[in-house]
Structures are given as C-alpha cells and as structure tokens.
C-alpha cells in the first residue's frame, strides 16, 4: 500500500493480522489504543516487537480516523519492563549498536507522530519501557507503576534515548541520580518530578485516559497537530526564535476552516463543529 495515501484504521486490518507482539485497535471514535502484547515476558522489547511497532506507527501517521493514540502494556504487572535481556545477551558490539539505532528510530517516529500520544503506564516502565513512555507526549500512571533506567545494573548504558529524554524531563541532577544508581521511582515520585501528569488506581487508568483523549479529540485536529509541532520543534530552540516560529504558525492557523468555525461558534454561544 502506498504510504502516502490516507486510510482509515478499519481498512487495514489485514496489515495488522500478522503481528505477534502488539495490538492496534480503534477504541472509540477518533481514539486508538496500541498495546505491547508480550505479557509472559512483561512486554519486553525485542527486535521483532520494535519492527511491528514501527509498522503500527506508519499506519497511525496516515490514518484519517485517529486523533489521539493511547499506548499501554498487556496485563497488570508491566507497561514495558525493558528491552529483552535474553535477546540482548546474544548481541555483538556492532549488533548492539544496530539494536539501539532501531529503537532510537522507532521512538523518534513515535515522538514525531502528528497526533498526541498518551502513555498509560500500568506497571513497570523500566529501561526501554521508560524510554518508550518518555517518547510519548505525556503520561498517566497507575498507582503501581514504577519508573527507572536500571541499565547500569547490567553493565551497559541506556540505548533508546533514556539518558537524553530523562534529563530534559526531570533535570540533570535527578537524571544523573537515576541513571547512575539504577533505582526505581514510584508513581507518586514520578508525578512530583514532572515525569507523570496524573496518577490513578490501576482499574481506572484506561477510563481516565479515555476521558482525556476524548477531550482532545473534540478539538480542532489542525490546531492540535500544529500545537504539537510547536512544542516539539520549539523545545530545543532559543526563546526568541521559538516565539518567531509560534507567530508564523499562529498566522498559518488563520487560513483554516476550523479557525472560522471556532471563532464563529464562540461569538454565537455554541459548541464548534470542527471539520
């Protein structure tokens, strides 16, 4: 199928049927749920799982019926407990580098999706799992969630962006502590450190994630996507150039039908119906 042709997720069920390690389903109108589905190994990431995740993200990027993506892990113990150590133990130095590059590319693709992505962290998010969650736009966590980058315990460094994203999210000092000790943070501390937006009982996590996704899905698709681009592209610019970029995008948004509808609805005292 031509990767440039927009599709509806419901039209590509045959493309997802062969996946062994992940699930991608339309959970509600405009909202899709992607599940890392290897509960017997606590959803650990190996090369095959990353390859399937890469394919899924390509489908999400071109799906016209997805406005928000939720990501979680199968079972009640883990979001993703890390990269698959049994898989990594067999790798040579060069193969380890290729594995890291594969994970980096997939997580960067996730980060650059046009739609907002919310991680629903329902248990352990360690190593590659924490790196996966940090590549989402923000996180909601269950009370039993645990976060960490314990790679030093295995004699290696983070390989999927953990040393870089964690530093940007919690600050240099705390990141250094977590990266060099390998200790885990519980959900409460992760929220205090700014890693997690909200914490809920595990049984309520998906429902609360859906509520938040539904709020986003009712907004202007164009405005939401442009806003995500501003945040993603502006975070590494100096303030002056980032604000120039925002002014340009603000002006661009005035060319859209959603701007006409949104402002008309406000002045008429009704809810907007965005296209």
> Hey, what are 119's tokens?
């991680």
CA distance 230 to 137: 13
Torsions phi, psi for 113 (to 5 deg):
-55, 145
- Annotated catalytic residue, options 11, 101, 131, 189: 131
> Hey, what are 76's tokens?
């009640």
- Annotated catalytic residue, options 29, 143, 151, 240: 151
Q: Is 189 a known active-site residue?
A: no
- Give me the DSSP letters along 198-235: EEE-GGGHHHHHHHHHHHHHTS-HHHHHHHHHHHHHHT
The contacts of residue 22 (CB under 8 Å, 6+ apart) are 34, 35, 36, 37, 49, 52, 53, 56
CA distance 106 to 98: 12
Q: Are 148 and 185 in contact (CB under 8 A)?
A: yes
Q: Is 101 a known active-site residue?
A: no
Quick one: which of 110, 112, 46, 117 has its CA closest to 82?
46
| SS3 assignment, position 274 | coil
User: Which of the residues are catalytic?
Assistant: 131, 151
């Amino acid at each position: 199928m031509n990767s440039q042709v927009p599709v509806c997720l419901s039209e590509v069920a045959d493309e997802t049927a062969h996946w062994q390690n992940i699930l991608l389903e339309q959970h509600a109108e405009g909202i899709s749920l992607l599940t890392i589905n290897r509960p017997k190994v606590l959803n650990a990431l190996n090369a095959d799982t990353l390859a399937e995740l890469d394919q899924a993200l390509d489908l999400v990027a071109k799906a016209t019926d997805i406005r928000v993506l939720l990501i979680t892990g199968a079972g009640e113990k883990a979001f993703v407990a890390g990269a698959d150590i049994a898989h990594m133990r067999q790798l040579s130095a060069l193969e380890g580098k290729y594995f890291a590059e594969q994970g980096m590319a997939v997580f960067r693709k996730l980060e650059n999706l046009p739609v907002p992505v919310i991680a629903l962290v329902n248990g352990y998010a360690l190593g590659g799992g924490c790196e996966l969650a940090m590549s989402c736009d923000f996180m909601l966590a269950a009370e039993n969630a645990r976060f960490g980058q314990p790679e030093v315990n295995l004699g290696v460094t983070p390989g999927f962006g953990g040393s870089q994203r964690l530093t940007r999210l919690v600050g240099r000092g705390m990141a250094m502590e977590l990266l060099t000790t390998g200790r885990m943070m519980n959900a409460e501390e992760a929220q205090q450190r700014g890693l997690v937006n909200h914490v809920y009982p595990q049984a309520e996590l998906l429902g609360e994630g859906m509520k938040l996704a539904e709020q986003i899905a009712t907004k202007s698709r164009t405005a939401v996507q442009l806003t995500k681009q501003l945040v993603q592209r502006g975070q590494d610019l100096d303030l002056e150039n980032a604000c120039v970029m925002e002014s340009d995008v603000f002006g661009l948004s005035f060319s859209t039908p959603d701007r006409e509808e949104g402002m008309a609805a406000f002045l008429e005292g009704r809810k907007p119906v965005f296209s």
